[in-house]
Amino acid sequence: MFVRANINILKWESEFFKRLIAKLDFIDNAKIISIYQLNQFDIVQVKIDSCKKVMINKLEKIGFFFVDGEINFLLKIGSGNIFFNNTLFKTDNIDIAKHSDIDLLCKAAEVVFNKSRFCEPWYSKKDSGRFYALWIKKAVLGEFDDICLLIKNSVGVILGFVSLRDIDINTARIGVLAKIPGMYSENIGRKLMSAAFYWCLQHKKKYLNIVTQVSNIAAMNLYLRSGAFITSTEYWLYRGYNDSI
């Protein structure tokens, strides 16, 4: 079974997870990859459009396994969106996360994002939480995403957080969105979406990109209710050094 692709080393992920990790990129005129080449890495990743059944079948036959699926949403930004009207109460406060918030947000991320595509047996049990804790830290510092917004109650307690990245003049993207574990205030997810939406309005964005796992039904329902629509679905497949062929 022949698969043509480039094998590109993911340097940052390899250093962070302490494994040699690569990703397949399908481009025109790429060479046929060999099992020997794949075996040089602890993990080889593929992100592929879910409609490409023939290629997915080929990848499975050379040892790749389905790990997770992603759904991509697009939300058009406009002042007439009914979903966000009256979502935020007078007692709710939108704030920009500061350096002093990092410890709390990192601890929350380790708990909330403990299940993702960074899962066993390819990654260790705590790797997912570590990854997203670093993500939110970098978002607060403006080193990965550009900003992290917080929803706080009337006494300043953080209820949830959402990070945003400025993609281009018209587009922003949500990085991570979650409520703080143990917080049960009403409609935290909707309020976080409102915070992201109004940030986009203030910065004259026309579109907001959002990605979530196929298993996250609550998030999908939230985004659909907000007026976002699905643009594509993709699968993550992995091949480890010890995966059978």
The model's pLDDT over 160-177, given as tens digits with 9 standing for 90+, comes to 999 999 999 999 999 999
Quick: pLDDT tens for 83-100: 776 666 555 789 999 999
In the block, tokens 């593929």 appear at 46
Residues 105-114 as b/e (b if ≥16 CB within 10 A, e otherwise) read bbebbbebbb
- CA–centroid distance for 228 within its chain: 16
DSSP assigned state of 4: B
The phi, psi pair for 158, rounded to 5°, reads -75, 125
**DSSP β-ladder status, 43-49 and 21-25:** parallel
**Superfamily of domain 78-205, CATH level 4:** Gcn5-related N-acetyltransferase (GNAT) (3.40.630.30)
Which residue, among 109, 96, 106, has the nearest Cα to 179 in the 3D structure? 109
Sorted by sequence, the CB contacts under 8 Å of residue 243 that are 6+ apart come out as 63, 64, 65
- CA–centroid distance for 220 within its chain: 13
Q: Is 235 one of the annotated active-site residues of the chain?
A: no
Paired residues of 166 in beta bridges: 172
Quick: pLDDT tens for 108-163: 999 999 889 999 999 998 999 999 999 999 999 999 899 999 999 888 999 999 99
State the pTM of this model.
0.90
Catalytic residue among 36, 123, 184, 223: 223
Q: Would you report the helix, strand and coil content of the chain in percent, each value rounded to 5? A: 30, 30, 40
Residue 134 burial (C-beta neighbours within 10 Å; 0-12, 13-18, 19+): middle
Residue spans of the domains in the chain: they are 6-69+235-240, 78-205
